[in-house]
Amino acid sequence: MHIKSQPSILYFGTPVVLISTKNENYTDNLAPMSSIFWLGWRCIIGLAAASKTTQNLLRTRQCVLNLPSVHQAGAVNLLAKTTGSNPVPAGKVQKGYRYHQDKFELAGLTKQASETVQAPRVNECPVQMEAVVEVVHGLAEHDADMRGKILTFELLIKRVYLDESILLHGHPNRVDPNKWKPLIMSFQQFYGLGGQVHPSTLAEIPEHLYNTPDREKALDRNSLREMV
């Protein structure tokens, strides 16, 4: 039986991402978030307008999307309720956030140099994606109470790195879903994925049929760099 309900949040489960960006003083910022979804080699993320990550994205137009597995939950938790903004925005003060300058050190994570953006990758994360900002949109533009508080970013993926431990055997460009265990945020709690519950009809479609021009252009650029 269904009842009418008014939850304060509608967070039914999305992957956790550690976004690394460059601060204005060239230090590195690292922030956990999970308002994200992908379409081909592009994704949409949503961030509070006052956050340091948002400010860095608006200024540099670059970032790295680092996807932790369930094994990095502890490190992600150390970054929770921290911000790179000093002073701490009023909305985050109310939620108990604190300023921390070196988040990589706080979480015990290791930086890796990126190839197409300035922000570093997180070595411990099995999936790393260098990305650039294509378009920025406001959310709730027609609501005076909400306007300007949240921004959505369309990001174009420029480079993907996958740990060999999650690859399908013999296929360097395919992730094995039986090996990849993403960290999931559902109603403010951490979860992992269980086993496969049912065969998927979509799995009958070869993955290469989902290729987009964005991926092909990235591959062409990679090949040119390797030839130089």
Residue 137: the pLDDT is 95
DSSP labels for the chain?
-------S-----EE-EEEEEE-TTS-EEEEEE--EEEETTEEEEEEETTSHHHHHHHHH-EEEEEE-BGGGHHHHHHHTTEES-SSPPHHHHHTT-EE-S-HHHHHT--EE--SSSSSPEETT-SEEEEEEEEEEEESSTT-TTTTTSEEEEEEEEEEEEE-GGGEETTEEEEE-TTT--B-EEETTEEE---S--S--GGGGS-GGGG--HHHHHHHHHHHHHHH-
Confidence band of 89 (pLDDT split at 50, 70, 90): confident
- Per-residue model confidence as pLDDT tens digits over 62-79: 999 999 999 999 999 999
More confident of the two residues 226 and 94: 94
- Per-residue model confidence as pLDDT tens digits over 11-35: 999 999 999 999 999 999 999 999 9
